[in-house]
């Protein structure tokens, strides 16, 4: 029996053209955020630690300003609306797996996908600075302190029944790419896939992914 295709798609820098967390930090954060970002990319500190510390640099009073800013700069990558239509027509489950934060992920995606198909981090604005909450932490098979642990989410779906397709662009997608059946990559994820010899298909527009999936019989 053929496996059911299932898609796990990153948000920042994949669905949106820019990485929203980096954009937020560049616009709102003091210079200390740069060292934290470099630590995450070099894998010297975990994603969870780095993102927590970066957002702790921002006052909670900035919430509405940040939401408005992300709405302005959060341009969707070409072909995303068509990709949503394609997955619905073909009855392919689509989950957004994002290291982003609920207060800016949801407003951008609400018109495209139900929230119960979005895995992302949560937020608390009750203190002086923004506190990030981690509802999708690593399972027993992951020790990377991912924050929103993408491989742990993939493992919730039985590999005997699902062909797992990962779409992403950054270091936060690497661990999921390692256990995926098919990978669509751009930007930094391409570099890591090549370093680790993980098979991947490059893309810039979601229409390219649609055409490739059709080409391998997922149509």
For the chain, which domains are there? 4-17+75-214 (3.40.50.1000)
Q: Classify 85 as helix, strand or coil.
A: helix
Secondary structure of 99-165 as H, E, C letters: EEEHHHHHHHHCCCCCHHHEEEEEEECCCCECEEECCCCCCCCCCCCCCCCHHHHHCCCCCCCEEEE
Q: In what order do the strands lie in the sheet with 94-101?
A: 131-133, 118-124, 94-101, 4-9, 162-168, 182-185, 201-202
Contact between 169 and 188 (Cβ < 8 Å): yes
Give the predicted TM-score (pTM) of the model. Answer: 0.91
What is residue 59's DSSP assignment?
Answer: B
Burial (CB count <10 Å: 0-12, 13-18, 19+), residue 72: exposed
What span, in angstroms and rounded, lies between the C-alpha atoms of 203 and 168? 10
**pLDDT 10s per residue in the chain (219 long)?**
589 999 999 999 999 998 899 999 999 999 999 999 999 888 899 989 999 999 999 999 999 999 999 989 889 999 999 999 999 999 999 999 999 999 999 999 999 999 999 999 999 999 999 999 999 999 999 888 888 999 999 999 999 999 999 999 988 899 999 999 999 999 999 999 999 999 999 999 999 999 999 988 776
What span, in angstroms and rounded, lies between the C-alpha atoms of 43 and 193? 15
Which residue from 214, 219, 171, 162 is spatially nearest to 1, judged by alpha carbons?
Answer: 162
The C-alpha angle 154, 158, 159, rounded to 5 degrees, equals 80
Cα atoms in the Cβ-side hemisphere of radius 13 Å centred on 191? 7
């Amino acid at each position: 029996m053929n496996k059911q295709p299932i898609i796990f798609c990153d948000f920042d820098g994949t669905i949106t053209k820019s990485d929203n967390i980096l954009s937020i930090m560049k616009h709102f954060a003091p210079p200390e955020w740069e060292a934290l970002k470099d630590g995450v990319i070099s894998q010297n500190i975990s994603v969870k630690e780095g993102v927590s510390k970066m957002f702790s640099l921002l006052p909670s009073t900035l919430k509405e300003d940040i939401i408005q800013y992300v709405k302005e700069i959060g341009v969707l990558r070409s072909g995303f609306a068509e990709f949503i239509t394609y997955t619905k027509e073909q009855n392919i489950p689509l989950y957004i797996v994002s290291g982003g934060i609920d207060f800016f992920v949801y407003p951008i995606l609400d018109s495209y996908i139900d929230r119960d198909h979005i895995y992302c981090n949560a937020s608390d604005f009750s203190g002086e600075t923004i506190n990030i909450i981690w509802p999708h932490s690593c399972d027993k098979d992951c020790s990377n302190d991912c924050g929103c642990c993408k491989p742990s989410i993939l493992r919730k779906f039985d590999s005997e029944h699902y062909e797992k397709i990962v779409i992403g662009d950054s270091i936060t997608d690497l661990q999921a790419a390692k256990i995926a059946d098919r990978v669509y990559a751009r930007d930094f994820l391409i570099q890591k896939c090549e370093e680790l010899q993980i098979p991947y298909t490059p893309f810039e527009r979601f229409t390219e992914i649609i055409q490739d999936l059709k080409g391998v019989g997922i149509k």
